[in-house]
Amino acid sequence: MAQKYYTVTWDQLHRDSKALAWRLLERGPYRGIVAITRGGLIPAAIIARELDCRLIESVSILTYDEQTRGEPRVAKPPAAAGDGEGWLILDDLVDTGTTARVIRALLPKAHFATVYAKPAGKPTVDTFITEVSQDTWILFPWDTEPQFIAPIAKTQAK
């Protein structure tokens, strides 16, 4: 079976993130937002603006390199969020739920939201906007141009 792709444009990501903010508004207010790097950074910025939330923390959990999955590793824990009470965790996508389970263990009392969700990961988040099939690879706008372009840092001669 051929790989399926779902291309998300900047405009669509902004609309979907804003729709998520509308859904989250009734559950707040939040003390702060924890963005899961890197994919959660841009949705977190959009949602922070819409919810008028200025305290933004980040967490970095490494689960894959390119398209190869490995054991999750917390590279940078959130410093100020405690057990997550009153905090909102944001990511672009929940796929298998691997990252979600790690962040849930770090911040068990936080509300976890993603813009996109796949069936295997959906039970690990509290709120999401759009569901895509498990076998679909989402192409986010920061990963693509009209064709795939490697990050600048990887194309420079050393």
Catalytic site positions = 91-92, 95
Cα 47 from Cα 36, distance rounded (Å)? 13
Ligand-binding annotation for 96, yes or no, is yes
Q: Could you tell me if 131 and 117 are in contact, meaning their C-beta atoms sit under 8 angstroms apart?
A: yes
Any binding-site annotation on 95? yes
Q: Are 59 and 74 in contact (CB under 8 A)?
A: yes
Go through 99-126 and write b for each residue having 16 or more CB atoms within 10 A of its CB, e for each that does not: bbebbbebbeebbbbbbbbbeebbebbe
Is 138 annotated to bind a ligand? Reply is: yes
Q: How far apart are CA 53 and CA 36, in angstroms?
A: 16
- Residue 152 is labelled as binding a ligand: no
**Is position 125 annotated in a ligand binding site?**
no
Per the annotation, does 98 bind a ligand?
yes
State yes or no: 99 annotated in a binding site.
yes
CB-based contact 37:73 (threshold 8 Å): no
Q: Would you say 92 is a known binding-site residue?
A: yes
Give the residue numbers of the binding site: 38-39, 91-99, 137-138
Give the residue numbers of the binding site for guanine: 95, 138
Give the residue numbers of the binding site for xanthine: 95, 138
Give the residue numbers of the binding site for GMP: 95-99, 137-138
Give the residue numbers of the binding site for Mg(2+): 92
